[in-house]
C-alpha cells in the first residue's frame, strides 16, 4: 500500500516539471498530485505545516474562526489539527456555511480519487459536511459526507468518515474546498467547535482499520434516573477491526479514576463495575479507549441514583439581576448523617456569595472565594429535623450579569462531597448541577444610534408594560464622563494637553462634547465627533457630570435624548429603578447615511391599486419628520405650481436601520420613510412629491388602476438583476427602458428577487433604486426576497426600505403578501425563510387561496419549485416541498420564479407531474436574468420551453378576460418566446414523453450530421425467405446472434433489482433504466447515481449497443480518431456489423453527443423493417436522411414525440431516453 502526504505542495513531481519551473520561471502552485501510478491513499492536508495558507471563508455566520489545535485529545494524528469555532445562532440566512480550502485557490488533482476521507471530532451537532471539486469545464460537484436523511454529524468525539467522489466528470479535476460545513435547519444552528484532521484522497481500498471502538452504555444509560440502588454498572465495549487496546482504557466516575476496579470480558464485550461502589445521587462517567490501530473512542454521560442518603440543591429557575438568589442544600432520605462537606462552584462574574445561613441546630463553616467562584461548606449537627434545607447560600446577582451568546443557562455544580456519621464517612453523594437563567425586572430598548441622532429609549417591566420614572444611566468611552459645552466663541481642541500640539478641531460656541469627569491641570480630555481623543481648555467650557441619570422615562415608558450620540464609539446604557435595573444595553454610535433631501423615491403595490398609493424614500437618520403632498392632475391648474388649495398632505412613518455601505464594512444609520395614501379615485392621474418644507422632491406622476373587469391588466416580470456595480445598474436600467418603450401602458412591475448581489451592502440597494428610478416613481413594484438580498441587513432593508401590503402570515409580514387587481389575485411568498417559516407561509397560502374568488391567480417567489439550471434538477427546494402542492391543488394559473438565471417555462404541473401542453395545471415561469449573471440551462422533462442565451431578458404579462398572455424579450427588444395560459378545457391525462427535450438556443446551428448515405438503413441480408415485416413489427437482422441476446435477457430477468439514487421508482424511465442495468447495457456512477438527464456521446451509445446486442469483439476500427479510445473495442464491433459509419473525413467523433436521429439510424441497422409511411412528426421532413427509420420506429411504438408532437431529430439524447429506445426495440424483437 502506498500512502503519500501531499501537504499543500507538489508531492511527487517529475524532473522535467522541476526543470521547467526553473527555466521558465513558473510560479509555485499548491498541487494535490500523485505519480502516474496513483497511491492507494493521498493525505491532502494534515495541518502539520500550520494554517497560514489555508483559506477560511464563513458565510451567513454570526462569527467563525479557524485555529491550529495542539491539545493531544483533540489531535488525531501528528501534533496539530484544525479547530473551527463557529456561531450561527439565530442567523436566518441560509445556508450558514464555512468553506475551508487553500488561499491559492483551486488545486489540480492528478488522477481521479474514488473517495474523500477525513477525521472529524464532532459533538452531535447535525451539521453537513462536503468536499468540493470542479471539473475541466469549471462545473462544481461535491462529495457528501451524509446520507439521504441529511443526518450530518451525529456522533461525539473522533470519527473517520468517507464520501464517494462522483465519477465520470471531465478531467483533470481540481480541488476547490477541503470541506464545507453547512446548516439550514434553524433548530440545529448553534454555537460550538469542530475539529478536523488528515483530509485524504482514497484511490483504492486498503483494508486499513479506521473505525473507532464502539461504546454503548447499558445500565444505566445516559441521563437515566434509577429509583433503586445500582446493582452493576454495565457498558458494551467492542471493536470490529484490530481489536481493543485495553492498556489505553481509562474510566473516571465523578472525576475519580476507577479503571483498576473495572472488569472487562472479551467474550461478552461487557465492561462492568460493582454497583455498591456507586453512591446515591448524581454521577458523571467518562470512558476512553483506543483500538490496536490507535483509533480513539470516548463517551461522557450522566446518570442519577435516586436512592440512599444523598445531597440535593434547589433554587428558582431565574436569578434576577441585582437581587439575592438563595440556593438551598439539604439531605434526601436522611439515614443518620451528622456532618456534611461539599464545595460549590459558580460563575463569579454572575454570582457572589453574600451570606450563608443554616437551619436550626446546624452549624456551618463557610470558606468563600468569590474571586475564584468557589465556596466550601462544612456542616455539623445534622438531624432528621434539620435535613431539609440544612443550609442556604445567598448569592447576590451582579447587576451586569448576562448570559453569553449561545449560553442557554449557567450552572452551580457540587464537587468533593461527603456525608459522615461520627468519624465514619458513609457516602460521597453529589447533588445534580443547578441550572439557572438570568432575568431582569426591567427591559430597556433603544433606537437611534447615528451620529447626532436623537435616541429613543423605552423601558418596560417584566410583563411588557411601559414603566414611568426609570432613570437612564450612561457610561461613555472615558468611564466616568462629563458633558462639555463650549462657552467661548471658539476653542481649539489639541492632540495633547499642550497648546503647542496639533489642533484637531476648532470647537464653536454651544457645541457639546463628551469629556473626562474632571479637568487635569486646566484641560479636559474630550472625544471628538469622529471618535478621536483630544484636549480642550477648561476655561472655554462648562462641565456637567454624566455619571448620574440622563433623565427619566415618561408615562409611556419613553425617554428621548441626543446626549447618547455626540461621538462615534461604543457606549452603554442601563435603566435603573431604585436598587433594580435592566440589562446593560451596549451600542455603537455610527456614521449617518443619507442626506437631508429625500432620496430614492419608489412606489409599491398595495392591496387595492385602484384607490391606494404606497411610497417609500429615505433621509439621514436625524430627519425624523417628512410627508407626502398629492393632487389630482386635473386639479393642478394652469401654472408651474399646483393650486395650493387642492394639494393634500399626509405625514409619513419612519424607521431607523443600522447597516453597512459595503458588505462586512463599517456601519452607518439611515432613516426609511413610507406612507400609504388611501381614498384615491380609480383610473385617475395624480401628481405627488415627498419631503418637508424647504426640501421637497420634484412632482411625480402616478395613475391608479381602473376597476373595469373587462380591461386587461399588464405588468413586467423581471428577476435576478444583481445590481452590484455600475455595469449591472446600467444593464438593468437599459433593459427596463427598452421594456417601457416596447410596452408603454404597462401598469406595474413584479421582480422575482435578487435585486442585488450582496444584501448586506447598502450601496448595492442604492444602485438598484437608482437603476429603477426610470420607472419606480410611477410604476409600483411587487418584490420578493432572493437568496442574495437576504444577506446580513438586506432582509431589513427589503421591508423597511419598501412598503408592501401588511396582510401576510404573522411572522412574515411584508415578506409574504397578497393583492388584487381587477379579476386577478396576486400572491408573493418568501422562499428564503427557515423551514418553520415556510410551514407558516404554507398554512397562510392555503387559507389565502381558499378564500380567493378571482378568476386568475398568479404567485411569485424566488427559488423555483422546478429548476432550470444544469445540475439542479434533483435539488428539492422548500418551495417544492411546501408551496407547490398547495399552488397546484388550487390550480394557480401562473407561478413566477427566478434564481436559476435561465428563462424557461414548465408544462402545466399537477401533483408534481407535467401534463399535456393544453391541460389544466400550474405553469411555472423562470424569468431568466435581468442583469449580468447567467448560468447554464438544462431542458428537464417538465420544461416545455427553455431559452438559454446569456442575455438579459424580461417578460411582459397581460391578464385579460380569456387568457394570460406572456411575451418575453431580450434587452435589444427581440421577441424570443410567446405563450398564453387559458382557463382549462376538458383535461386529458397525458404521460410525459420519455424524451426530455434538450435546451434549444435560437440562432445556434446544430452540429453537422454524418453523411446521409452511411447513416441510411441498408437492406438487411435475408439468408432464408421470410415474410415481409410490417412497419409495426421490426425483426432482428441476420448479423445479430438472437440466442445470445435472448440468453442475456433471460439472465437479467433473474438478476437482483438495481436501484439508483437519482431515479425515482415513479419516474417514466425507471423500469427501462433498471432493466438495461440488469442486462449489463449500462452501469451507474460511483456515487450510486445514474444521471438520467446526462447527455450520451456517440462512443457511449456504441458501447450500449455492443452490450445490448451481445456483439463479439472485433479488430480495431478504421476511424482516425478512435485508436486508443476507451470505447474503441465497442466501436470496432459496431463497425464490423455495418451498424455505424463515420464522417467523410474518416473520423467517428466519439465524444460528440449522439442525436435522436442517429440513435434511430443505428438501431435500425440491427433490424429488418419495412419503411414507414409519411413522416410521423412535423419536424421530420420527407427528405430527412433518417425519416424512413424514424417513421418505422414511430409506427412500431419505439419512439414518441414531445408534448407538442415533435421528434426533434437533431437534439442530443439523454441517458434515460437512449436506454428506453433500446429496451423497447429489444422487447419487440424478442417477441417476434
Structure confidence at residue 734 as a pLDDT band (50, 70, 90): very high
With vertex at residue 1076, the alpha carbon angle to CA 1073 and CA 1082, rounded to the nearest 5 degrees, is 95
Cα dihedral value 1082, 1088, 1093, 1096, nearest 10: -40
Work out the average pLDDT over 3-27.
35
For residue 1000, report the phi and psi dihedrals to the nearest 5 degrees: -120, 130
Q: C-alpha cell of 638?
A: 394652469
Give the CATH fold of the 214-305 domain.
Immunoglobulin-like (2.60.40)
State the Cα–Cα distance between residues 768 and 775, nearest whole angstrom: 12
Q: Is 142 helix (H, G, I), strand (E, B) or coil?
A: strand
Q: What is the pLDDT of residue 34?
A: 38
- Above pLDDT 70, what percent of the chain? 90
Residue 994 clears pLDDT 70, i.e. is over it: no
List, for residues 557-594, the tens digit of each pLDDT value: 999 999 999 999 989 999 999 989 999 999 999 999 99
Question: Nearest-CA neighbor of 673 among 723, 632, 630, 614?
Answer: 614
Residue 919 clears pLDDT 70, i.e. is over it: yes
Residue 8 clears pLDDT 70, i.e. is over it: no
Query: DSSP assignment, residue 1137?
Result: H
Q: Is 339 helix (H, G, I), strand (E, B) or coil?
A: strand
- Specify the higher pLDDT residue, 393 or 1142: 393
Structure confidence at residue 691 as a pLDDT band (50, 70, 90): very high
Structure confidence at residue 1026 as a pLDDT band (50, 70, 90): very low
Strands across the sheet containing 533-537: 503-508, 490-494, 533-537, 523-527, 512-516, 481-486, 541-545
Q: Is 27 helix (H, G, I), strand (E, B) or coil?
A: coil
The secondary structure element, H or E, covering residue 914 is strand 913-914
Judging by beta carbons within 10 Å of its beta carbon (0-12, 13-18, 19+), is residue 156 exposed, middle or buried?
middle
State the Cα–Cα distance between residues 302 and 255, nearest whole angstrom: 12
Q: How many CB atoms lie within 10 A of CB 686?
A: 23
Expressed in angstroms, the distance from the first to the final Cα of the chain is 54
Question: Nearest-CA neighbor of 451 among 343, 525, 374, 528?
Answer: 528
Residue 1017 clears pLDDT 70, i.e. is over it: no
State the Cα–Cα distance between residues 120 and 158, nearest whole angstrom: 6
Q: Express the helix, strand and coil content of the chain in percent, nearest 5 each.
A: 15, 35, 50
List, for residues 811-842, the tens digit of each pLDDT value: 899 999 999 999 999 999 999 988 889 999 99
Q: What is the pLDDT of residue 887?
A: 96
Q: What is the pLDDT of residue 1035?
A: 61
- Specify the higher pLDDT residue, 1047 or 113: 113
CATH superfamily of 4-11+36-202: Galactose-binding domain-like (2.60.120.260)
List, for residues 850-898, the tens digit of each pLDDT value: 999 999 999 999 999 999 998 787 777 889 999 999 999 999 999 999 9
Residue 934 clears pLDDT 80, i.e. is over it: yes
Residue 24 clears pLDDT 70, i.e. is over it: no
Residue 28 clears pLDDT 50, i.e. is over it: no
Judging by beta carbons within 10 Å of its beta carbon (0-12, 13-18, 19+), is residue 780 exposed, middle or buried?
buried
- Specify the higher pLDDT residue, 308 or 38: 308
State the Cα–Cα distance between residues 471 and 460, nearest whole angstrom: 12
- Specify the higher pLDDT residue, 34 or 488: 488
H, E, C per residue of 527-583:
ECCCCCEEEEEHHHEEEEECCCEEEECCCCCEEEECCCCCCCEEEEEEEEECCEEEC
Q: How many CB atoms lie within 10 A of CB 723?
A: 28
Q: What is the pLDDT of residue 1065?
A: 66
State the Cα–Cα distance between residues 507 and 518, nearest whole angstrom: 19
Work out the average pLDDT over 774-796.
93
For residue 748, report the phi and psi dihedrals to the nearest 5 degrees: -160, 180
Q: Which of 119-133, 167-181, 1065-1079 has the lowest mean pLDDT?
A: 1065-1079
State the Cα–Cα distance between residues 130 and 141, nearest whole angstrom: 10
Q: Which of 286-300, 476-490, 711-725, 757-771 has the lowest mean pLDDT?
A: 476-490
For residue 226, report the phi and psi dihedrals to the nearest 5 degrees: -95, 130
Structure confidence at residue 1042 as a pLDDT band (50, 70, 90): confident
List, for residues 220-250, the tens digit of each pLDDT value: 999 999 999 999 999 999 999 999 999 999 9
Same CATH fold assignment for domains 4-11+36-202 and 309-439: no
CATH architecture of 591-707: Sandwich (2.60)
| Domain locations along the chain | 4-11+36-202, 214-305, 309-439, 442-590, 591-707, 709-982, 1035-1096+1153-1231
Q: C-alpha cell of 415?
A: 464537587
Give the CATH fold of the 709-982 domain.
Purple Acid Phosphatase; chain A, domain 2 (3.60.21)
Beta bridge partners of 581: 576
Residue 1206 clears pLDDT 90, i.e. is over it: no
Residue 1036 clears pLDDT 80, i.e. is over it: no
Contact 684, 637 (CB under 8 A): no
Give the CATH number of domain 442-590: 2.30.30.40
List, for residues 342-381, the tens digit of each pLDDT value: 999 999 999 999 999 999 999 999 999 999 999 999 999 9
H, E, C per residue of 165-192:
CCCCCCCCCEEEEEEEEEECCHHHCCEE
Question: Nearest-CA neighbor of 343 among 377, 370, 372, 313?
Answer: 377
With vertex at residue 386, the alpha carbon angle to CA 385 and CA 388, rounded to the nearest 5 degrees, is 100
Work out the average pLDDT over 550-555.
96
Q: Is 277 helix (H, G, I), strand (E, B) or coil?
A: helix
State the Cα–Cα distance between residues 1172 and 1207, nearest whole angstrom: 15
State the Cα–Cα distance between residues 1224 and 1197, nearest whole angstrom: 8
Judging by beta carbons within 10 Å of its beta carbon (0-12, 13-18, 19+), is residue 841 exposed, middle or buried?
buried
State the Cα–Cα distance between residues 829 and 860, nearest whole angstrom: 6
Structure confidence at residue 956 as a pLDDT band (50, 70, 90): very high
H, E, C per residue of 46-99:
CCCCCCCCEEEEEECCCEEEEEEECCHHHCCCCCCEEEEEEECCCCCCCCEEEE
Structure confidence at residue 1004 as a pLDDT band (50, 70, 90): very low
Contact 896, 964 (CB under 8 A): no
Q: What is the pLDDT of residue 314?
A: 96
Give the CATH number of domain 309-439: 2.60.40.680
Work out the average pLDDT over 607-615.
97
**Backbone angle region of 126, left / alpha / beta, with phi > 0 → left and psi within -120 to 50 → alpha:** left
Residue 667 clears pLDDT 80, i.e. is over it: yes
* Counts for the chain of helices (H) and strands (E), in that order: 15, 75
Structure confidence at residue 174 as a pLDDT band (50, 70, 90): very high
Any residues with CB less than 8 A from the CB of 873 and at least 6 apart, and which? 867, 938, 940, 1093
Q: What is the pLDDT of residue 345?
A: 98
Q: What is the pLDDT of residue 1086?
A: 61
Q: What is the pLDDT of residue 375?
A: 98
Q: What is the pLDDT of residue 37?
A: 58
Q: What is the mean pLDDT of the chain?
A: 87
Residue 1175 clears pLDDT 70, i.e. is over it: no
Contact 422, 430 (CB under 8 A): no
State the Cα–Cα distance between residues 900 and 870, nearest whole angstrom: 9
Contact 80, 68 (CB under 8 A): yes
Query: DSSP assignment, residue 774?
Result: G
State the Cα–Cα distance between residues 499 and 484, nearest whole angstrom: 19
Q: What is the total residue count of the chain? A: 1232
Question: Nearest-CA neighbor of 1217 among 1196, 1197, 1200, 1192?
Answer: 1200
Q: What's the chain's Rg over C-alpha atoms? A: 38
Q: What is the pLDDT of residue 446?
A: 95
Beta bridge partners of 559: 457
Amino acid at each position: 500500500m502506498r500512502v503519500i502526504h501531499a501537504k499543500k505542495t507538489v508531492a511527487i513531481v517529475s524532473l522535467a516539471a522541476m526543470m521547467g519551473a526553473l527555466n521558465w520561471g513558473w510560479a509555485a502552485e499548491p498541487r494535490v498530485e500523485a505519480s502516474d501510478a496513483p497511491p492507494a491513499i493521498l493525505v491532502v492536508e494534515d495541518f502539520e505545516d500550520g494554517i497560514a495558507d489555508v483559506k477560511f471563508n464563513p458565510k451567513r455566520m454570526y462569527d467563525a474562526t479557524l485555529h491550529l489545535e495542539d491539545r493531544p485529545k483533540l489531535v488525531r494524528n501528528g501534533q496539530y489539527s484544525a479547530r473551527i469555532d463557529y456561531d450561527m445562532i439565530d442567523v436566518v440566512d441560509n445556508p450558514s456555511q464555512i468553506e475551508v480550502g487553500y488561499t491559492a485557490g483551486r488545486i489540480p488533482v492528478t488522477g481521479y480519487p474514488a473517495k474523500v476521507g477525513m477525521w472529524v471530532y464532532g459533538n452531535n451537532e447535525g451539521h453537513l459536511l462536503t468536499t468540493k471539486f470542479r471539473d475541466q469545464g469549471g462545473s462544481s460537484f461535491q462529495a457528501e459526507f451524509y446520507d439521504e436523511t441529511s443526518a450530518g454529524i451525529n456522533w461525539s468525539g473522533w470519527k473517520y468518515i468517507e464520501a464517494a467522489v462522483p465519477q465520470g466528470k471531465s478531467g483533470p479535476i481540481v480541488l476547490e474546498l477541503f470541506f464545507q460545513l453547512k446548516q439550514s435547519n434553524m433548530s440545529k444552528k448553534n454555537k460550538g467547535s469542530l475539529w478536523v484532521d488528515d483530509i485524504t484522497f482514497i484511490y483504492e481500498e486498503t483494508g486499513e482499520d479506521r473505525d473507532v471502538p464502539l461504546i454503548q452504555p447499558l445500565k444505566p444509560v445516559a441521563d437515566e434516573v434509577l429509583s433503586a440502588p445500582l446493582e452493576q454498572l454495565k457498558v458494551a465495549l467492542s471493536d470490529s477491526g484490530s481489536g481493543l487496546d485495553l492498556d489505553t482504557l481509562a474510566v473516571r466516575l465523578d472525576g475519580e479514576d476507577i479503571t483498576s476496579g473495572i472488569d472487562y470480558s472479551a467474550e461478552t464485550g461487557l465492561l462492568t463495575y460493582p454497583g455498591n461502589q456507586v453512591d446515591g445521587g448524581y454521577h458523571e462517567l467518562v470512558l476512553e479507549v483506543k483500538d490496536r490501530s490507535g483509533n480513539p473512542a470516548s463517551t461522557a454521560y450522566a446518570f442519577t441514583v435516586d436512592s440512599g442518603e444523598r445531597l440535593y440543591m434547589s433554587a428558582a429557575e431565574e436569578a434576577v439581576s441585582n437581587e439575592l438568589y438563595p440556593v438551598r442544600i439539604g439531605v434526601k432520605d436522611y439515614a443518620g448523617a451528622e456532618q456534611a462537606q461539599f464545595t460549590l462552584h459558580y460563575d463569579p462574574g454572575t454570582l457572589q456569595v453574600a451570606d450563608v445561613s443554616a437551619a436550626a441546630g446546624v452549624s456551618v463553616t463557610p470558606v468563600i472565594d468569590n474571586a475564584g467562584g468557589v465556596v466550601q461548606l462544612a456542616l455539623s449537627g445534622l438531624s432528621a429535623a434539620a435535613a431539609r434545607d440544612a443550609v442556604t447560600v445567598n448569592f447576590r446577582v451582579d447587576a451586569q450579569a448576562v448570559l453569553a451568546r449561545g449560553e442557554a443557562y449557567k450552572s452551580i455544580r457540587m464537587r468533593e462531597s461527603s456525608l459522615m456519621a461520627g468519624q465514619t464517612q458513609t457516602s460521597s453523594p453529589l447533588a445534580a448541577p443547578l441550572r439557572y437563567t438570568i432575568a431582569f425586572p426591567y427591559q430597556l430598548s433603544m433606537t437611534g444610534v447615528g451620529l447626532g441622532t436623537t435616541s429613543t429609549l423605552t423601558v418596560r417591566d417584566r410583563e411588557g408594560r411601559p414603566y414611568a420614572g426609570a432613570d437612564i444611566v450612561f457610561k461613555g468611552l472615558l468611564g466616568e464622563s462629563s458633558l462639555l459645552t463650549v462657552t467661548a466663541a471658539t476653542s481649539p481642541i489639541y492632540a495633547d494637553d499642550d497648546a503647542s500640539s496639533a489642533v484637531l478641531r476648532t470647537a464653536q460656541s454651544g457645541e457639546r462634547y463628551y469629556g473626562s469627569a474632571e479637568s487635569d491641570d486646566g484641560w479636559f480630555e474630550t472625544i471628538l465627533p469622529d471618535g478621536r481623543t483630544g484636549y480642550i481648555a477648561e476655561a472655554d467650557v462648562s462641565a456637567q457630570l454624566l455619571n448620574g441619570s440622563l433623565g427619566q422615562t415618561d408615562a409611556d415608558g419613553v425617554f428621548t435624548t441626543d446626549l447618547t450620540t455626540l461621538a462615534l464609539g461604543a457606549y452603554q446604557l442601563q435603566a435603573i429603578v431604585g436598587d433594580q435595573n435592566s440589562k446593560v444595553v451596549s451600542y455603537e454610535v455610527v456614521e449617518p447615511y443619507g442626506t437631508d433631501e429625500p432620496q430614492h423615491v419608489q412606489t409599491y403595490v398595495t392591496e387595492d391599486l385602484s384607490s391606494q398609493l404606497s411610497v417609500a424614500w429615505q433621509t439621514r437618520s436625524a430627519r425624523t419628520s417628512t410627508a407626502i403632498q398629492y393632487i389630482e392632475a386635473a386639479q393642478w391648474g394652469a401654472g408651474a405650481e399646483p393650486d395650493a388649495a387642492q394639494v393634500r398632505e399626509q405625514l409619513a412613518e419612519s424607521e431607523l436601520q443600522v447597516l453597512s455601505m459595503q458588505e462586512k464594512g463599517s456601519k452607518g444609520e439611515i432613516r426609511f420613510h413610507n406612507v400609504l395614501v388611501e381614498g384615491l379615485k380609480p383610473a385617475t392621474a395624480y401628481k405627488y412629491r415627498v419631503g418637508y418644507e424647504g426640501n421637497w422632491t420634484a412632482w411625480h406622476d402616478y395613475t391608479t388602476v381602473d376597476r373595469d373587469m373587462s380591461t386587461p391588466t399588464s405588468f413586467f416580470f423581471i428577476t435576478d438583476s444583481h445590481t452590484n456595480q455600475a455595469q449591472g445598474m446600467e444593464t438593468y436600467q437599459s433593459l427596463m427602458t427598452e421594456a417601457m418603450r416596447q410596452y408603454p401602458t404597462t401598469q406595474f412591475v413584479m421582480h422575482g428577487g435578487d435585486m442585488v448581489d450582496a444584501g448586506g451592502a447598502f450601496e448595492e440597494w442604492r444602485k438598484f433604486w437608482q437603476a429603477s428610478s426610470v420607472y419606480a416613481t410611477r410604476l409600483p413594484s411587487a418584490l420578493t426576497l432572493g437568496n442574495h438580498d437576504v444577506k446580513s441587513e438586506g432582509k431589513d432593508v427589503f421591508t423597511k426600505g419598501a412598503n408592501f401590503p401588511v396582510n401576510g402570515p404573522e411572522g412574515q409580514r411584508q415578506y409574504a403578501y397578497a393583492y388584487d387587481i381587477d379579476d386577478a389575485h396576486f400572491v408573493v411568498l418568501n422562499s428564503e425563510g427557515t423551514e418553520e417559516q415556510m410551514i407558516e407561509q404554507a398554512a397562510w397560502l392555503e387559507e389565502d387561496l381558499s378564500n380567493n374568488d378571482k378568476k386568475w391567480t398568479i404567485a411569485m417567489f424566488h427559488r423555483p419549485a422546478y429548476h432550470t439550471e444544469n445540475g439542479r434538477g434533483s435539488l428539492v427546494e422548500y418551495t417544492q416541498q411546501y408551496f407547490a402542492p398547495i399552488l397546484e391543488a388550487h390550480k394557480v394559473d401562473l407561478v413566477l420564479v427566478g434564481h436559476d438565471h435561465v428563462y424557461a417555462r414548465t408544462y402545466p404541473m399537477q401533483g408534481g407531474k407535467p401534463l399535456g401542453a393544453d391541460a389544466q395545471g400550474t405553469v411555472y415561469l423562470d424569468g431568466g436574468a435581468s442583469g449580468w449573471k447567467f448560468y447554464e440551462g438544462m431542458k428537464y422533462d417538465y420544461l416545455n420551453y427553455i431559452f438559454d442565451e446569456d442575455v438579459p431578458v424580461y417578460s411582459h404579462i397581460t391578464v385579460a378576460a380569456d387568457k394570460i398572455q406572456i411575451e418575453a424579450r431580450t434587452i435589444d427588444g427581440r421577441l424570443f418566446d410567446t405563450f398564453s395560459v387559458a382557463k382549462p378545457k376538458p383535461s386529458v391525462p397525458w404521460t410525459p414523453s420519455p424524451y426530455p427535450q434538450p435546451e434549444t438556443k435560437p440562432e445556434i446551428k446544430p452540429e453537422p450530421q454524418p453523411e446521409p448515405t452511411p447513416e441510411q438503413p441498408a437492406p438487411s441480408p435475408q439468408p432464408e425467405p421470410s415474410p415481409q415485416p410490417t412497419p409495426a413489427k421490426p425483426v432482428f437482422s441476420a448479423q445479430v446472434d438472437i440466442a445470445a441476446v435472448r440468453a442475456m435477457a433471460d439472465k437479467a430477468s433473474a438478476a437482483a433489482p438495481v436501484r439508483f439514487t437519482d431515479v425515482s421508482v415513479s419516474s417514466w424511465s425507471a423500469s427501462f433504466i433498471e432493466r438495461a442495468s440488469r442486462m449489463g447495457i449500462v452501469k451507474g456512477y460511483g456515487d450510486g447515481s445514474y444521471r438520467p438527464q446526462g447527455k450520451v456521446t456517440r462512443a457511449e451509445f456504441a458501447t450500449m449497443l455492443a452490450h445490448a446486442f451481445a456483439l463479439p469483439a472485433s479488430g480495431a476500427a478504421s476511424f482516425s480518431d478512435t485508436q486508443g479510445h476507451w470505447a474503441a473495442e465497442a466501436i470496432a464491433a459496431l463497425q464490423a456489423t455495418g451498424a455505424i459509419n463515420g464522417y467523410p473525413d474518416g473520423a467517428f467523433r466519439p465524444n460528440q453527443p449522439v442525436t435522436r436521429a442517429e440513435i434511430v439510424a443505428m438501431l435500425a441497422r440491427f433490424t429488418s423493417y419495412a419503411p414507414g409511411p409519411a413522416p410521423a412528426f412535423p419536424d421530420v421532413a420527407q427528405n430527412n436522411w433518417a425519416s424512413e427509420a424514424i417513421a418505422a420506429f414511430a409506427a412500431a411504438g419505439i419512439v414518441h414525440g414531445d408534448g407538442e408532437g415533435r421528434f426533434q431529430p437533431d437534439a442530443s439524447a439523454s441517458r434515460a431516453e437512449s436506454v428506453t429506445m433500446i429496451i423497447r426495440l429489444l422487447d419487440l424483437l424478442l417477441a417476434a
